[in-house]
Amino acid sequence: MLINPAKAEKNPWEMFFVGAFYGTISLLLVKWIFSGDPVLSKYSGILVVTFCVMFTIPFIYYTLKFEEEKDLQIQGFKRLLLEHNKAIYSFMFLFLGLVVAFSFWYIVFPSGNQNFIAQIETYCMINKPAFFDECVTEYGVEHVSRTTAFLTAKEKIVNIFANNIYVLIFTLVFSLIFGAGAIFILAWNASVIAAAIGIFSKSNLANLPLGLARYMIHGIPEIGSYFAGALAGGIISIAVIKHDVHSEKFWVILQDSLNLVIVAVVLLFVAALIEVFVTPVLF
């Protein structure tokens, strides 16, 4: 009712406000309904992501259906890629809206970190594995188990790329099995990035733009890669649902999806290079 795929692809920037609205409503629902529950309040970070998934699945599903129809009507890799770019742009603005909303409320709420406990633990696992306990305690999380370091400086770029490929594979598989199911992984990543931005901003709204820049420089090609993978798997999933698998066009859809996966891998490699060589220099 808020926006449909055809309108979103004409004005993809509108999806930023849709994403910000979904993220805000999800956080408020979790805060008002589950914050007083002694059990579910411990899993508020997962609940926020779950609500975001429920809000966004209809739009994601109909966008995938819209893109699959393009595969049956448009010929030529370049033309198809240009058409799919419109969907990826709308997904990117949706994702950015979620990130900004999560980051804003992380800073604004007096105990905003309690809504992102799982995300803070993930942040500490990635950035300070050797000092995991100290890290999570510093950012307001208690009673967690100890872990050990598993990354070295020399292996950093390889591990970043390998980890991103791992996420891309999960995104592809989830979209193949569930159609719009990849949004769970992407909403989770949005919440983790938001927690990292909140930590980097030191709970000061004035530092929010700097925090966004810090993670979006390499985050934009990285998340764009994930959406390309989600689009590839989702298109195949929709084709199977609509029984296009029995037509000759199905092989065109497979080829188009493979091209999207190749583009996704290239984007991931570029994102890893930026994260290792560019972001540390600027920040």
Tens digits of residue pLDDT in 56-105: 998 998 898 888 888 778 777 778 778 888 899 999 999 999 999 999 99
Residue 112 within a domain: yes
What range defines the domain where residue 101 resides? Answer: 7-116+153-282
Alpha-carbon Rg for the chain in angstroms: 19
- What is residue 89's predicted lDDT score, i.e. its pLDDT? 92
Do 16 and 190 meet the contact criterion of CB atoms below 8 Å apart?
Answer: no
The DSSP secondary structure of 166-177, one letter per residue, reads HHHHHHHHHHHH
Burial class (CB in 10 A: 0-12, 13-18, 19+), 121: buried
pLDDT in tens, 198-245: 888 877 888 889 889 888 898 899 999 999 999 999 888 888 877 666
Task: Give me the residue label for tokens 């030529």.
Answer: 76
Average per-residue pLDDT for the chain = 84
Whole-number Å distance between alpha carbons of 47 and 141: 17
Whole-number Å distance between alpha carbons of 153 and 165: 19
Mean pLDDT to the nearest integer, 273-279: 85
Residue 101 within a domain: yes
Residue 138 within a domain: no
Residue 161 within a domain: yes
- What is residue 100's predicted lDDT score, i.e. its pLDDT? 95
Do 226 and 186 meet the contact criterion of CB atoms below 8 Å apart?
Answer: yes
Whole-number Å distance between alpha carbons of 190 and 97: 9
Which is nearest to 180 in space by CA: 40, 13, 68?
Answer: 68
Residue 131 within a domain: no
91-113 burial string, b = 16+ CB within 10 Å, else e? bbbbbbbbbbbbbbbbbebeebb
**Cα separations (Å) of 150 from 123, 129, 274?**
14, 7, 22
Do 208 and 104 meet the contact criterion of CB atoms below 8 Å apart?
Answer: yes
Q: Model confidence at 146, in pLDDT bands (50, 70, 90)?
A: very low
Structural domain count of the chain: 1
Residue 146 within a domain: no
Task: Look up the pTM and report it.
Answer: 0.84
Task: Give me the residue label for tokens 């979620």.
Answer: 98
Residue 125 within a domain: no
pLDDT(144) > 50 = no
Residue 32 within a domain: yes
